[in-house]
Structures are given as C-alpha cells and as structure tokens.
Structure 1
Amino acid sequence: MTENGRTAVLTGAASPRGIGRATADRLAREGWAIAVLDIDADEARAAAAEIGEAHGVPALGIGADVSDSGAVDAAIAQVEADLPPIVGLANVAGIASPVPFMNETVEGWDRVFAINMRGTFIVTQRVMRGMIERKQGRVVSVSSVSAQRGGGTYSKVAYSASKAAIIGFTRALAREVGEHGITVNVVTPGPIDTDIMGGTLTDERKAAMSADTLLGRVGTREEVAALIAFLLGDDAGWITAATYDINGGLQIS
C-alpha cells in the first residue's frame, strides 16, 4: 500500500493471550510496522519489543487509556513521529461485563461504554486525520456475537449494547469516509480462547461455550487475527461497511 512502509495501530494488544497481540504478530509477520496501544504501558512496551525482535519490523509500545482523548492524541502523535504512515487500525481494546441488568450501575455501564465504544470513537477519529490526508486507510473494529444474539455468552446487557454500537458506528463511518478511499469493517467473534471472559478458559467452560456452535469448539486468537489481517490488507480494498461473523456457526446471519 505504501512504498515507504506502513504502520498498523492496535489497541488493547499487549495481553499475551489476546486477539490484539495475535493480530499484531500476524501483521508484523506480513511486514507491517506495529504500534501497540494498551492501558498497561509496561506490557505494551514489552509486547512491542518482542514483536519487533521476532519479526524484524519497527514496533512501538505505548501506554494509553483509549477513553482519554488527550492520552490517545499524544500516543498517536508519537506513532506518527516514529513509525511509517498509519494505514491500518484495529480497535481491539475492550472489557467484559458479566453483571446482570438489574444489578448494573450507571458507573459500571459508563465504564463499559467508555472503553468499548468511546475508545473506538476517539482512537479512530484521531487516526483518521492522516488517513484522509493520504486518502488511504483500513479500519477494523472488534464487536461480538453477543451484540447479534443479545448476550447469551459470558457478558450481559452493557457489553452487548456497547458492542452493538460498534456495528452501527462502523456502517455510518464507512459511509462518510469511503470517498477518501478508506474502508471500515467490523468482526464479530463468538467464544474465543482468551482471558477476557473471567480468566483462562477451563476445558469445562470451553465445552459449555462451544455446545451451540456447529463446529463444536471455541475459536482461536489466530483465527480472528487472520480475518482482521485480511481486512486490513491489500486484497480487501472493495470491502467496506461489512460485518464479518467468525463464530463457528453459533450465529447464522
């Protein structure tokens, strides 16, 4: 896409067992420069160092709260100064919420939306400036099958609502920025073997979560990473405003 190299920014990508980290590794293997943004600055720097060393690409790890516009502005400014042009953005940062609706608080609700939805808005808007200037860019955000099914997974209403908002956000944004050659898509994973759903999944929990899938198993981080990498890549230039299910048949759209 860019002769002088290209950078992918990934939020929430420091956790060793997360979708973001798997995607960062995948993209680095394909030659992208990598910027890891995470609330945990030490983990972000460590992840970037490992990715850069393993794949021989420029990699930068920055601590930033995605719900804080000032922190995001500073982080992206650093990426723009130190790495090649930002061509790809993967909005992966998110938090789960297993609190039942009648037990949910306004503070709890706002925290879920602050990270899952407001963070997606803030980071995307900040990165979009350079994409519009260069008339080139790919944005992929991570929603959830929970948004489509109305929960039924680990998390409850606040999480499902915030992830549903990301789908609407994606479609409307794609409509606005398409004229600039920028694509905006969303992936909706089903149960994936990460730690977001209350810790590392036991075999028993994996079995319970995969019971309703057509393939009889939970998904892997690498499978989701491959889909995100495709949507950020050269071959996905005519795909935009799309919702990509990756759920083993748990939800058939």
Structure 2
Amino acid sequence: MSEISLDAPKLFDLAGNVALVTGAGSGIGQRIAIGLAQCGADVGLLDRRTDDGLAKTADLIEKAGRRSIQIAADVTSGAALDEAVARTEAELGPLTLALNAAGIANAHPAEEMEETQFQTMMDVNLKGVFLSCQAEARAMLRNGRGSIVNIASMSGVIVNRGLNQCHYNASKAGVIHMSKSMAMEWVGRGIRVNTISPGYTATPMNTRPEMVHQTRLFEEQTPMQRMAGVDEMVGPAVFLLSDAASFVTGVDLLVDGGFCCW
C-alpha cells in the first residue's frame, strides 16, 4: 500500500484542466459544462445552435470564476472540430478533458422511415462523437494525458417501450461500443474513454407541453418514479473525468434511476 496522505483528498478537483464540451448550449451538455467549471476547469463550449444557449452557458461559467470560449460548429465536420480544438488550446491552454453531448433524438416507425432520417441520426449521434473524440484525442496524445466522456443513453442498452426509434437506439449502442474500443486503443497512451448512459431526463426536449403524456409514462416506467434532472448528470461526469476515476476506462455508467434493472 502506498503512503496515505492525511490531507483532505482532492479527487474531484479539476483545477488546471481545460475541457471541451460539445452540445454545450442546452440540456445535459450545458449543465455539465457549468459543473466542470464549478470544479475548476476552463471550458471550450461548442454547439451548432444559433440562439443564445452558448452565451448563457458562458455567463454562468464566468460567474463560477472560470474562463470559457464559445464555438459555433457542427460535429459532423471533422475540420470544424479540429479547428475547435485548436482554438480551445490557443485561448485556454492544453486540452485534457472532453465531454461529448451533442446529439439529436426523434422517432418514426422503422418500416416508414426515410433513409435520410436514419442517416442524419447516425451522422450526428455516432459519426459526430467519433469525429469529436478523434480531434480531442489527437491533442491529448500530444499533451500526454486526457479523459473523454461521451453521452450515450440507456436506449443503447434497452429498447424503450412505446418509442419507435430504432435509429436512435442503434446510434447510442454504437457510441457505447465505439467508446470501449477507443478506450482500448488509447489505454496505454494516457487517455481514458468512458460513457454515461442517462435514463429519462428532464431536458427541454422532454419537457415540452406536447410531451406531458409521454413524460408521465417515463416516470411510471422508472423504478425511482421520476425523471432525472440535468443536475444529476454532473456528478457522474465529474467522477469519470477526474482523478477519482484514474483506474476507470471503457466503462458505460448507467444513470437511469434503476430503469435497466427491470
């Protein structure tokens, strides 16, 4: 056993790190970006949104006492992601952390689905995560260390009752296994890669007025009898990105209120 320090542990302290968060303009990505700043990281904020989502995230990060930059980019473009990483490093410092939350969701019966709907889902949710990880890892390999967390979904593990979304489920299953595969490619080179698979979460997408009936079903189907709040994704993300998870790689962390137990 190594010598134990009696000083208070700082396992979840992200001070001295620079992170890039995709999908930082709303929902889970926005809240985790703010959470990383609250734990001491400076954060590059990337989203393709054209509203004030990124500005709101940046404002809250500034109030937390950390620095950020706003990057309008599409994760389906490798060149845009390379540029985003380069800008993040130029303005904030060497990239050591990444959280990839950019994604879309929709539903349609499989037998009626247009090829373009299927392909767009794969382009954003799967290829977008691959290109993000690729650009981030290139920098982290140069920097000698890094930790990447990709947001998947419990839909990559189970099939949601009542939702016709085979393309979404397939994209998230792909994110989980792709992340495990990349974790093993980089395991001896200083980079850890893990995924978080949220259950039903109260994001703007799931709390629209027209979703009230579906939301009630989500809550009834979850053993904890409620949806998660976006705040509840921060702890798992900080854990996986921080030194608290220094021996954790290739793991899919279900944050689903017990859903996958039944």
TM, length-normalised to structure 1: 0.92
Q: 2:18 maps to which residue?
A: 7
Q: 1:98 maps to which residue?
A: 107
Q: For structure 1, which segment, 111-120 or 144-153, has the greater mean C-alpha deviation from structure 2 after superposition?
A: 144-153
> Matched residue of 2:46: which SS?
strand
Q: 1:72 maps to which residue?
A: 81
> Matched residue of 1:178: which SS?
coil
1:180 aligned onto 2:185: no
Q: 1:124 maps to which residue?
A: 133
> Matched residue of 1:66: which SS?
coil
Q: How does 1:218-233 map to 2 (within 5 A)?
A: 218-233=227-242
Report deviation, 1:134. Answer: 2.2
Instruction: Structure 1: state its 5+ residue gaps.
Output: none
Contact 1:47 1:61 in 2 (8 A): no
Q: Count residues with an aligned counterpart.
A: 251
> Matched residue of 1:90: which SS?
strand
Contact 1:193 1:201 in 2 (8 A): no
Distance 1:114 1:248, change over 3 A: same
**Aligned counterpart for 1:192 among listed residues 188, 201, 207:** 201
Contact 2:199 2:255 in 1 (8 A): yes
Contact 1:45 1:60 in 2 (8 A): no
- Aligned residues: percent identity? 29
Q: How does 1:109-188 map to 2 (within 5 A)?
A: 109-152=118-161, 154=163, 156-188=165-197
Report deviation, 1:223. Answer: 0.6
**Aligned counterpart for 1:56 among listed residues 48, 55, 65:** 65
* Paired letter, 1:208: L
**Aligned counterpart for 2:40 among listed residues 27, 31, 48:** 31
> Matched residue of 2:52: which SS?
helix
TM, length-normalised to structure 2: 0.89
Distance 1:68 1:158 in 2: 21
> Matched residue of 1:163: which SS?
helix
Report deviation, 1:19. Answer: 0.4
Describe the superposition over 1:5-50 as per-residue Cα deviations: whole angstroms up to 9, x where unpaired. Answer: 21111101112xx001110111111110011100025535413431
Report deviation, 1:198. Answer: 7.6
> Matched residue of 2:157: which SS?
helix
Report deviation, 1:4. Answer: 8.4
**Aligned counterpart for 2:52 among listed residues 16, 36, 43:** 43
Report deviation, 1:62. Answer: 0.5
Distance 2:162 2:228 in 1: 14
Q: 2:91 maps to which residue?
A: 82
Query: How big is the alpha-carbon RMSD for the aligned residues of Structure 1 and Structure 2?
Result: 2.2
The structure with the largest alpha-carbon Rg is: 2
Instruction: Structure 2: state its 5+ residue gaps.
Output: 1-10
Contact 2:150 2:175 in 1 (8 A): yes
Distance 2:83 2:133 in 1: 14
Distance 2:190 2:162 in 1: 36
Report deviation, 1:242. Answer: 0.5
